[in-house]
Amino acid sequence: MTNAGQILTEMAGALRAGRLQDDDETSRFLAWDIGVARASAGVHPRESLMAASVFFRAAFTTLSQRLQDDTQAARMLRLVVTALEQSISLRIREAANSYTGILLNKVTEAQMAERRRIARELHDRIGHSLSVAQRQLELSNMYRPGEPAKALAKLEMAQQAIQETMYSLRQVTSDLHPPGGSTLEKGLLNYLDVIGTDDVQIELIVNGDQTWAPATVSEECLLILREAARNALTHGEPSAILIRIDVAPHELVASVIDNGCGFDPDGQAPKGSLGLSSIRERTQLLGGTVTIASKPGMGARVDLAVPIQRRPDDQE
């Protein structure tokens, strides 16, 4: 309402002066603050554009009805309309700039969190296994002269540690591998095959034509669902996971449901579960919504909905 009031004030100022007025810094600051508030609340810029369109049509209809059949009035109408468009455009530009800035900051934060997660994975899993292998090789060399049986046992333990390192490295590199060139279903199947889930029953259901989703949407949704599955396997200790994807011409809806230990979504996130923030940020950048529901001892559920924009060459 404050924005609308300032726009009407600027229109009145243009009418009194008989010309367009210079941009007001107060209006810029207000538009910027509103953009920040909307971005922080997850309001997509299209909502601002829709509101601006409704306001413009309402104002223009009212003014045109009052100024019909009057040459001077017609000139004034053109001035008012131009001033109205200028005032609205200013606010849209500033709000969009602030929205973009907020999202860029969130992307940077998500990237840094992902780097920390990868560093932690390398240190805790690969670094530990390599240290074990090195120690077992040292012991094997020490026992070799007088106790060859012990030396052989230590060598076998070193080989086992190296195999574990290679397995862990495959898991980490799978997380980093770009998903381009594959469908959602194929990408998820490849990921689940790489990380190894023999002790967990995983069911993947895909409905609809996956080609309806643009490549950018498919790739981002694959990363989101892959992260949700990884979180469930890493922190939930489930015996079963259901991944469901429904693709329609206008929307992609997906869910990841597990029967693991669960957690309190309003409490402190599970240690190392920075992927939850990544899921939220990626979904927001797609203009979609995500819901993460869980209770201790009751498993967890991630529901995702992403709009699909129709291409101009799509057939009706």
Residue 145 falls inside a structural domain: no
Q: Tell me, yes or no, whether 77 and 196 share the same domain.
A: no
Q: Tell me, yes or no, whether 199 and 306 share the same domain.
A: yes
Residue 218 falls inside a structural domain: yes
- Please identify, among 58, 87, 106, the residue that sits at the C-terminal boundary of a domain: 106
Query: What's the predicted TM-score (pTM) here?
Result: 0.49
Q: Which domain covers residue 37, as residue numbers?
A: 2-106
From the list 144, 172, 157, 24, the residue with the least C-alpha distance to 86 is 24
CATH code of 199's domain: 3.30.565.10
Residue 121 falls inside a structural domain: no
Residue 311 falls inside a structural domain: yes
Q: How many domains does the chain have?
A: 2
Strand partners, 303: 255, 291
Each residue's pLDDT, cut to its tens digit, for the chain (316 residues) gives 666 666 667 666 766 777 666 656 666 666 667 667 766 776 666 677 677 777 776 777 776 666 665 667 666 777 777 777 777 777 776 676 677 677 777 777 877 877 887 787 777 778 878 888 888 899 999 999 999 999 999 999 999 889 888 877 877 776 666 554 457 888 888 888 777 667 888 999 999 888 889 888 998 899 899 889 988 888 888 999 999 999 998 999 999 999 999 887 766 555 545 568 888 888 988 889 999 999 888 899 999 999 997 554 444 4
Residue 126 falls inside a structural domain: no
Q: Tell me, yes or no, whether 310 and 189 share the same domain.
A: yes
- Please identify, among 90, 106, 122, the residue that sits at the C-terminal boundary of a domain: 106
Q: Tell me, yes or no, whether 209 and 297 share the same domain.
A: yes
Q: Tell me, yes or no, whether 93 and 196 share the same domain.
A: no
Q: What is the dihedral of CA 204, 219, 292, 123, to 10 degrees?
A: 100
Q: How many CB atoms lie within 10 A of CB 61?
A: 10
- Please identify, among 106, 135, 156, the residue that sits at the C-terminal boundary of a domain: 106
CA angle 46, 47, 49 (to 5 degrees): 60
Q: Tell me, yes or no, whether 98 and 189 share the same domain.
A: no
